[in-house]
Structure 1
Amino acid sequence: MKTRHCTTAAVSALAALLVGCSGKAEGWNYAIPKKICGVNMQESVVKPLLPPGDTLDEQIRAAIGEDQDVSERCLLKVDKGKSGDGKYLWINLDRETQKVDAVAEAHRLRYGNSESVHLAGSVTSAAVGDTGALVAMRCKPKTAKSAPYAYLMAEVRMGDYADKPKDPEARHDHLQAFLRDYIPATEAARCKQ
């Protein structure tokens, strides 16, 4: 009887080890970056927005036909090339000449269950939804290239895995935590004080 329990335990342990080595276990097998889209971030607010996977690639570029100081696109892509487009997190920054209502824009862009949230600093309006967040803030650019602009829009959009969150309330909370870290750092980096 004792031998049978030991054999069963050994077989179970070996099976668990083989499953762990097969690559089938879901987890974050890539390092969560300390800098996201050029901004220092806390891992605890970034990780909940990134899907599990093996690799993470970051691409930062200006929008087509725009100067990077006017419009910036940052894409964090997990497991690029493994499943079609992979899974991603977009962060877009766009300069605006006039104040924009982020809540109305979030509804128009169909963020899903979008709601207004309060953020401190120069934020004029902000909204979070099931698939992303949108923030409008007063922001005079630090460079002369974008002198006519007085506002900055920050958009955070989630990719393939985020279309229907299992827990929308938790998703909204994670987005707000991310924004509370990302927006002040972005403001400090891109706006005149």
Structure 2
Amino acid sequence: MFSASACSGSSGKDYAVPKAVCGVPVEPDLLSPLLPDGKKLTEQKYGFGATQPRCRLKVDGDLAVYFSGDVVPASTDVMAVNERGMLRLGRPATADIGRGARIADLGALAVDKCVYGGKQQQFVANIELQQQAPKDVQKRRDALRALLKAYLPAAKKDVGCG
């Protein structure tokens, strides 16, 4: 569990934005726009094995951003499998990230090919916002796109999917 806090005495983010999310390097400038104001940021890493990492970022105890990754068979139609979930996140639109991606109002999903365990596979990266930060939907979608574009290759590498 990671915890960061700082005291600035003003409203806004009174915590340090991390340079990694549960071990996956991220640029703080890409993550920061998607985090709400607050005093303390904590992270919880968990998973369902090496090929299914999960991470929660909480601000002041409230879930802010959820990250997940999955190594799946090369034959899986990732976008079809995740269609309902993306619709729930609001107005998914295609994006040119990896082999395919969707950016929604409150989340983003991308898939890319990789080799894991000597077999052709796919890696799926998912980011879901639990709070509407930033408030402006287009800025939020743009921030999700930028973060996902950087996060996908780093998360893929982190699970050993080359």
Class of the TM-score when normalised by the shorter of the 2 chains: 0.7 to 0.9
Match of 2:95 among 104, 112, 117: 117
Structure 2 counterparts to residues 111-150 of structure 1, below 5 A: 111-119=89-97, 123-141=98-116, 144=117, 150=121
TM-score by length of 2: 0.82
Structure 1: 5+ residue stretches without partners: 1-19, 81-85
Q: CA–CA distance in 1 between the matches of 2:42 and 2:146?
A: 22
Alignment coverage as a number of residue pairs: 152
List structure 1 runs of 4+ shifted beyond 6 angstroms: none
SS in 2 for 1:95: strand
Contact 1:126/1:134, CA 8 A, preserved across alignment: yes
Q: Give 3-state SS (helix, strand or coil) of 1:188's partner.
A: helix
Deviation at 1:95, TM superposition (A): 1.7
Asked if residue 93 in structure 1 is aligned to residue 69 in structure 2, the reply is yes
Letter in 2 for 1:178: L
Structure having greater relative contact order (Cα 8 Å, sep ≥ 6):
2
Say yes or no: does 1:162 pair with 2:138.
Answer: no
Write 1 or 2 for the structure with the bigger share of strand.
2
Q: Secondary structure at the match of 2:135?
A: coil
Question: With structure 1 as the length reference, what TM-score do the two structures score?
Answer: 0.70
Contact 1:75 1:88 in 2 (8 A): yes
Q: CA deviation at 1:181?
A: 1.6
Cα distance 1:192–1:132, how it changes in 2: closer, same or farther (>3 A)?
Answer: closer
CA distance in 1, matches of 2:28, 2:150: 10
Question: Which structure: greater helix fraction?
Answer: 1
